[in-house]
Structure 1
Amino acid sequence: MQASTPIPSATGRPALPVDVVMRREPITGPMARWQSWRWVLADVLPAGEPFEVPVSAPQSVAAAPQEVQPLPGAAVVDGASYWLFTGLHITLFRDDAEGLFLNLESPSPCCWVFWRADDERLLDGEPMAVPQIATLSYHDAGRWLDAQEKVEQVPASPEVVAWLSAFVAEHHHLEPKRRRRPESFKPLTDRFGQPVRISTEKR
């Protein structure tokens, strides 16, 4: 994947196709009395070259999952299964450049995924965790968490960070700091808030 970001037009936005891997792992310890399994976000992988998605395009939807083997270097959990969801893409919005910048400036830029349990997709009679949206925006993740949604994060790959950096460099502009007025220029007031008149005449 190239690091450059397509220049957004009036009718399109930069987007990147991604695959999301969810891990279903057994629960051990006292919690296993109430729940046998839990779902965890395992990875977000670039799945193609950046492209431009029309402004009017509907939100991307994850395709039917397929079970896969753990990726090389990934954490392996005994008894866990890994499920690959294709069809999603990350979209960058110019009016959210600040949220993208905050992610990029963090010690470890990451991808967030908002997912839900889907009663129509079952595994062993239980709902599967299906990713709904993937994002690189700090603000998006914060809004979802405030709404009590299930949101998890994984480190962004170097290719994704480079793509994000190109976009932020073009569209995020730090506001210049206003020069603070010296304290000596503040008007003097008495304890009632009335202006104080100072005379330099000698008595």
Structure 2
Amino acid sequence: MPLGVVVRRTPGVTRWAQWAWKAVAVLPAAAQAEWRVLRHEGDAIEYHAATPLLELHGAETDAYLHGLAARIPAIYVILRQSESSDGPPLDVLLVTASPYEAQDYADSGEEIIEKVPMPEAVVAWVQGFVDTHHIEEEFKKRRRDRTRTDKVEHSVGDPRVRKTADVYQAPQVRKERLN
């Protein structure tokens, strides 16, 4: 499903940042657009920045269920600072309904992850996908294997050195050296 990403530009609050950028909404089934001005209120401007596809995958249904169970279901917009100085200031990399995928992008620290409320039409679409493709997996507790580890000592010391004493003991100082 194509989702239009709405990004708001407001004046920065510090002298180091002239503008503050924030994804504030998504538009379901939007047409393609590239930084089209939607609304202008004083110094704040809202842009329809891009229209990436929201893709759902059958292996991610647990993540979608987790996102839908939130108090306010959300779409996560992944943005990155643009490398070109003459184009738009941000690139819209991805929109996702998976909080797990958004967390993966947060680990690098290079992307900006914005949590945007999920429109009702998208909630119904994602819920329908989950209802169709989700398979509940039964929890299986792992059992401890019965191997006895107290009888054999693997990787203790260097096998090339013959020593019958404890391999971890401190080296002895020879009395001949002290004289």
For normalisation by structure 2, the TM-score amounts to 0.70
Name the CA distance, whole Å, in 2 between partners of 1:117 and 1:180.
44
- Following the alignment from structure 2 to structure 1, what is the Cα–Cα distance between the partners of residues 20 and 92? 14
**TM-score computed with the length of structure 1 as normaliser:** 0.62
Q: Which amino acid aligns with 1:87?
A: T
Structure number with the bigger relative contact order (C-alpha 8 A, sep ≥ 6) is: 1
Partner of 1:44: 26
Give yes or no for the alignment of 1:66 onto 2:44.
no
* Aligned-CA RMSD value: 2.7
Alignment of 1:95-110 (within 5 A): 95-110=59-74
Structure 2 unaligned blocks of 5 or more:
144-149, 151-179
Secondary structure at the aligned position of 1:90 is classed as coil
Letter in 2 for 1:136: A
Distance in 1, matches of 2:85 and 2:118, equals 28
Deviation at 1:120, TM superposition (A): 2.8
- What is the rounded CA distance, in whole Å, between the counterparts of 1:92 and 1:178 in structure 2? 27
Q: Quick check: 136-145 or 170-179, which moved more? A: 170-179
**Partners of 2:5 and 2:51 within 8 A in 1:** no
Q: Which runs of 5+ in 1 are unaligned?
A: 1-15, 49-61, 71-75, 182-191, 193-203
Q: Rg bigger for which structure? A: 2
C-alpha displacement of 1:178: 4.8
Alignment match, 2:174: none
Q: Tell me the residue number matched to 1:196.
A: none
The corresponding residue for 1:22 is 7
Identity, % of aligned positions: 29
Q: Distance in 2 between matches of 1:47 and 1:165?
A: 17
Partner letter of residue 90 of structure 2?
A
Aligned to 1:131: 92
